[in-house]
Structures are given as C-alpha cells and as structure tokens.
Structure 1
Amino acid sequence: MLYGAAASGSVAVEAALTLLNMPFDLVEGQTWTSDAARERVAGHNALRQVPTLVLPGGEVLTETGAILLHLADAHPRARLSPAPGDAARGQFLRWMFFVSSAIYALHWIGPDVGRIGAPAGARDAVIDAVHKRIAFCWRTMDAQLNPRRFLLGDELTVLDLYVAVVSRFRPWRARFHAEAPRMTPAIRRVDEEPRLRALWERRFPGG
C-alpha cells in the first residue's frame, strides 16, 4: 500500500513500482493541505507525510529516496540502480542523497515558512531565496554529471525517476531546463518513456 498524492514525491515511487510491474493500492491524499490525509497516514508515519509505503509483510518505508533505493536494490534484475561493486554505484548514491537533502528537502519550507522561523510577511522573500538555492543546486549537479542516454549512462535508474519528479516542482521545469542543460535530454527521455507516459499525464496533469 502506498500513501501518496499527485504532483508529489510519491509519483517517483509510483513510477518505480510501474517499471517493476508491481501492483499496489494507492491511498490518495495531499498531506500538506489536508488534515484528513494526514490522519490517514499517521498510523504508519509519525510525520504524517507522503510517500509512505507499507510492504506486504507490514514493514513501513518512508522518504522518497530511501524507498527508491530499496525497490531498486530489492529487484536487481530490473537494473534500476547500479549494483554494489559497480563503478557507477558511488556516484549513484551521491546524487540520490544530493537530490534528497539539497533540493527535495527545501520544498518542505514552501507550505509554511514558519517552519524555519520566518514570519508570514516574509514568505515571498523566503520562497524566492529557496528557489534560487534550488536552481543553484540543479546547476551544481549539472556541472558534475556526464549524462549519456540517462543521467548515469545508458540505463534508466531510479535517480532518473527522482530527478524527473523533483524537477517538476517549483521553480518548475522551465527553470530546471535553463539551469541543467546537460541533464535535460536525459530527463526528457524519462518523460517520454512509453511505460510511464500515462502515469506522468495522470499524476502531473498539464505538465
């Protein structure tokens, strides 16, 4: 069972499950706007956030990056991550954690700038600074990767899924394309992946 919401990080998990051909029940709810959605997931995740994945045996996984890593490593034949010992494994882990900590984590501020002690009246300035930082981080990542067909080479990995989703958040894809021109072709290939096209259209309507 996956607790998730459209246009959120849980879509990356949905994409991985789709590529793995793993059926799942989706409990829909925008936990950042809905008390009811937060209460639905509270029994599994004390932070009351999505994504929260409950495995068939009852084990609970939270945090988008951690879920993606678990799914990829648990299904090595799908080749959604470089295997331990693969020369690309170190950079794969580096950038998975970079997206999680340096970029995705900043989006936690948006719904309530009071979370970092900022007054409500400073919201516009705070959000502008956050967006500049996100753009800087995409630019930094872009300068240090050498994408081929996908970000780490010629095989799609969960890193590609992660970036394809998080790059759709504010300051939106146009800013991502401007800041990350080397990564852009790989991410556009993820957008066009036939197995995922219907998912992207459904979960990110309007692009």
Structure 2
Amino acid sequence: MATGECVLYGAAASGSVAVEAALTLLGIPFRLIEGETWSSEAARACVEEQNAMRQVPTLILPDGEVLTESAAILIYLADANPAAKLAPALDDPKRAQFLRWMFFVSSAIYSLHWIKPDVGRIGAPQSARDDVVNAVHERIAFCWRAMDAQLAPAGYLLGDELTVLDLYVAVVSRFGPWRERFFAEAPKMAPVVRRVDEDPRLKELWERRLVADNSLRVQQVVLG
C-alpha cells in the first residue's frame, strides 16, 4: 500500500465506521468526507464521482485507486499492513474462516439493511414496510444466531488476536435488530463485542461516530 493520506467517504452510524476504526488502529492518515447518502441527494452525488453505487464507505488510496464494499476494504487494509495482525496471514489455519465470516457478515447480514429505507426495492408496497422491516430483523437475528453457534471465540472472535472481523461485527451488530437482540442471539460473541467497545484505542471513535442505539433505530443504514 502506497504511503500518504487516504480519503474516506463515510458517515456516522454506518458501516464506514468499521473502516475508520481499522485506519485508526493502523495509524493510516485519512481525510473524511462526511455524507449520509441514505438521506441526502447532495451526498449521493458527491460519492457518485468515485462510486457509481453512490454508497459509503468508499476509500480512495494514496495512489488514487478506489475501493468500495466494506468487507473488501477491511480485508485489503489488514492484508496490506500484515505487521498489525488485523487479519490471519494467507498461510494461517484461521484464514479460511476469517474470509468465510467476513463475507457472511457482509452478504447475509449487512446487505439486508439496503431493503429498509425503501421496501419497494424488493417489490413490496410502502404499506407493508413495517412487516418487511420486522422480517428483515428476524432474518438478521437468525444469521447472528447461526454465526454464534459455529464460532468458538477466545479473547476475540477467531482467537487471541483482534482482527477486522471483530471491528466489523462490533459496528454491524449495532444496527437493527439492535444490540440487546444481538446479545441475546449471540451469547458467545457478546463478550468479544463488549471488549472491542471498550478498547482504549477506539473508545473515543465509537463515542463520536456511533450514536446511542436508541438513536440508531430511527436512522437509515447505507450499504457498502
């Protein structure tokens, strides 16, 4: 990874906060371009210059290369900075499960939030929005439960080392159906998430960029 400042298109209380956390732990300087693309046409137009999907996070590397998709960005940052050990190495026995669960969180859980701002995206009438959102939350709860049943966390989800998977789950678990449901459905992962919440290197970031869960309930989450 080339040295220099990155540019991150992101928003508070969105998946881009996990990328901010990784950049913070890695000590990589970045300039944040703030924009709630789920509620602002101006923000969508701004992001569209770099990402045709008009979503955050979108990361511009120092050499100008564009990265999108939160899981891909997190894996890239970890792999590009192996000394930090934020991802299992390619020859590490934990690597396969790391990739499995990173993409599981992205595709099976985080992606479902795309439906909630506009249920017409899946052909449902707006009159059915409450039922659709409830069904989405039930599916997400099922997915957290399935993930929890198949993991054997130690200090962190994959063992004794903090990885970007821990950061990802710590952020995405704050979205619907909210943390109290996550803790109930994922009792093995719950202590890990609480540990990441309290990490002194990230505490200020979490407090500044992830609003209280009750406030998150009324926000729309943008996908990426």
Give the aligned partner of residue 190 of structure 1. 196
**AA at the equivalent of 2:48:** A
Give the aligned partner of residue 148 of structure 2. 142
Equivalent of 2:18 in 9, 12, 15:
12
Are 1:130 and 2:132 an aligned pair? no
Give the aligned partner of residue 171 of structure 2. 165
Q: Distance in 1 between matches of 2:129 and 2:67?
A: 32
Are 1:61 and 2:62 an aligned pair? no
Which fold has the larger relative contact order, with Cα–Cα distance below 8 Å and residues 6 or more apart in sequence? 2
Are 1:35 and 2:44 an aligned pair? no
Partner of 1:121, secondary structure, is helix
**AA at the equivalent of 2:160:** D
Partner of 2:166, secondary structure, is helix
Runs of 4+ in 1 over 2 A off after TM superposition: none
Partner of 2:200, secondary structure, is coil
1:74-85 residue pairs with structure 2 within 5 A?
Answer: 74-85=80-91
**AA at the equivalent of 1:99:** V
Structure 1, unaligned runs of 5 or more: none
Give the aligned partner of residue 123 of structure 2. 117
CA offset at residue 206 of structure 1? Answer: 2.4
CA offset at residue 204 of structure 1? Answer: 1.1
Q: Distance in 2 between matches of 1:12 and 1:149?
A: 19
Equivalent of 1:99 in 95, 99, 105:
105
Partner of 2:89, secondary structure, is coil
CA deviation map 1:123-171 (0-9, x unaligned)? 0000000000000000000000000000000110000000000000011
The normalised TM-score by structure 1 is 0.99
**C-alpha root-mean-square deviation of aligned residues, in Å?**
0.6
CA deviation map 1:163-207 (0-9, x unaligned)? 000000011101100000000001111000000000000011225
Give the aligned partner of residue 89 of structure 1. 95
Partner of 1:82, secondary structure, is coil
Are 1:155 and 2:165 an aligned pair? no
Partner of 2:30, secondary structure, is coil
**AA at the equivalent of 1:82:** P
Are 1:200 and 2:209 an aligned pair? no
The normalised TM-score by structure 2 is 0.92
Q: How many residues align?
A: 207
**AA at the equivalent of 1:63:** E
Give the aligned partner of residue 30 of structure 2. 24
